[in-house]
């Protein structure tokens, strides 16, 4: 299994001329949880498409261990599976079981292998009780778990989640994140979580912030948090506590608070000597 992927000066221009990514040079390591944050239109899903092999770079190259050219293909052991927003459009089968088994059957695995892997993936993603249900009858959170189980059954080298957090309430996103973190840690799947909200990736080992198709910041969550508020052009949604902190430090609010403090009587002051 590949351990590292290098993107070397990668760019991607859509056929209509939109240059969605340019000069992206980053390394993704299998043992890291990498968070990718950026505003709408910054190139995140295009990057996911390149990692998945749905798109091929129009500039630069992808390389894997030992410098070999890397062209991800969904049907190989190098597979990088993207679980993305709009789950309904990705669901094809008439039962959860068939959905999870779909890619395995398409890859012509032996029936016993399909059965074993499908059951294991359903158990892993807590879907055993829903195996006979039609995917269209499930909640969005359950549909995303089905897509995740279908990915897990394929035993991908990397798992990429694209804006999954924005489709779930906070608790369901936390549950999904702890599931993918356990897949990352126990099943050795590389993990990339893509989001426009920094608070979705506070557990990441490393964060890349994209702006206008390029990597604008890279570092630990702490590094990026410390620098991002001075980069409003990144248009990244800050965690609430940080946003409130920024607001409190802003000049008009600070002036207001200072005036309030000066006017307020100090409790217990009359008893001081
Ligand atoms: P994000 O996922 O960060 O919102 P995308 O990668 O989807 O960003 O889009 C990056 C840029 O590429 C945007 O300007 C977007 O309009 C453009 N884009 C995305 N998909 C296509 C497409 N299929 N054809 C043309 N332009 C596209
Ligand atoms: Mg996107």
Nearest ligand, measured from the Cα of 39: 1
255 in ligand 1 pocket by Cβ < 6 Å?
Answer: no
35 in ligand 1 pocket by Cβ < 6 Å?
Answer: no
Task: Give me the mean pLDDT over the 120-145 stretch.
Answer: 95
Residue closest via CA to ligand 1's atom 13 equals 41
Residue-level pLDDT at 82: 81
Residue-level pLDDT at 102: 93
Residue-level pLDDT at 65: 86
CB atoms near residue 156 (< 10 Å): 24
45 in ligand 1 pocket by Cβ < 6 Å?
Answer: yes
Q: Is the pLDDT of residue 246 over 70?
A: no
Q: Which of 20, 39, 42, 84 to mutate to test the pocket of ligand 1 (most atoms within 8 A of CB)?
A: 20
Residue closest via CA to ligand 1's atom 14 equals 41
195 in ligand 1 pocket by Cβ < 6 Å?
Answer: no
% of the chain with per-residue pLDDT over 70: 87
Q: Which atom of ligand 1 is nearest to the CA of 43?
A: 6
46 in ligand 1 pocket by Cβ < 6 Å?
Answer: yes
Highest mean pLDDT (candidates 29-33, 235-239, 247-251): 29-33
Q: Is the pLDDT of residue 272 over 60?
A: no
Please, what is the average pLDDT of the chain? 87
Phi/psi for 236 (5° steps) reads -95, 135
Task: Give me the mean pLDDT over the 25-50 stretch.
Answer: 94
Pick the range with the lowest mean pLDDT from 94-108, 133-147, 195-209, 222-236: 222-236
Domains in the chain (CATH in brackets) are 1-73+190-235 (3.40.50.300), 238-266 (no CATH)
pLDDT tens track for 96-110: 999 999 989 998 999
Residue-level pLDDT at 232: 76
229: left (phi over 0), alpha (psi -120 to 50) or beta: alpha
Task: Give me the mean pLDDT over the 200-211 stretch.
Answer: 94
Residue closest via CA to ligand 1's atom 17 equals 20
141 in ligand 1 pocket by Cβ < 6 Å?
Answer: no
Task: Give me the mean pLDDT over the 156-161 stretch.
Answer: 91
16 in ligand 1 pocket by Cβ < 6 Å?
Answer: yes
**What does the alpha-carbon distance between residue 138 and residue 130 come to, in Å, rounded to a whole number?**
9
Q: Is the pLDDT of residue 27 over 60?
A: yes
- 33: closest CA among 152, 183, 174? 183
């Amino acid at each position: 299994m590949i351990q590292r992927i290098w993107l070397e000066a990668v760019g991607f221009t859509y056929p209509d001329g939109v240059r969605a990514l340019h000069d992206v040079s980053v390394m993704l390591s299998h043992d890291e949880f990498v968070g990718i944050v950026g505003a709408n239109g910054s190139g995140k899903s295009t990057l996911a498409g390149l990692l998945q092999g749905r798109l091929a770079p129009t500039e630069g190259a992808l390389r894997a261990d030992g410098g070999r050219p890397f062209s991800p293909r969904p049907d190989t052991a190098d597979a990088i599976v993207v679980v993305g927003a709009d789950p309904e459009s990705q669901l094809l089968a008439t039962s959860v079981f068939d959905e999870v088994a779909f890619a395995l059957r398409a890859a012509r695995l032996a029936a016993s292998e399909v059965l074993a892997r499908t059951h294991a993936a359903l158990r892993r993603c807590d879907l055993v009780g829903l195996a006979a249900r039609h995917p269209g009858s499930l909640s969005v959170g359950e549909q995303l778990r089905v897509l995740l189980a279908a990915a897990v059954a394929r035993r991908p080298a990397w798992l990429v989640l694209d804006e999954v957090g924005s489709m779930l309430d906070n608790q369901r996103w936390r549950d999904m994140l702890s599931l993918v973190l356990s897949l990352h840690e126990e099943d050795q799947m590389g993990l990339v979580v893509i989001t426009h909200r920094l608070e979705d990736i506070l557990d990441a080992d490393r964060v890349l912030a994209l702006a206008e198709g390029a990597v604008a910041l890279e570092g630990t969550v702490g590094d990026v948090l410390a620098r991002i508020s001075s980069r409003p052009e990144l248009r990244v949604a800050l965690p609430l506590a940080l946003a409130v902190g920024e607001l409190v430090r802003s000049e008009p609010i600070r002036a207001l608070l200072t005036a309030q403090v000066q006017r307020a009587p100090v409790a217990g002051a009359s008893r001081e000597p």
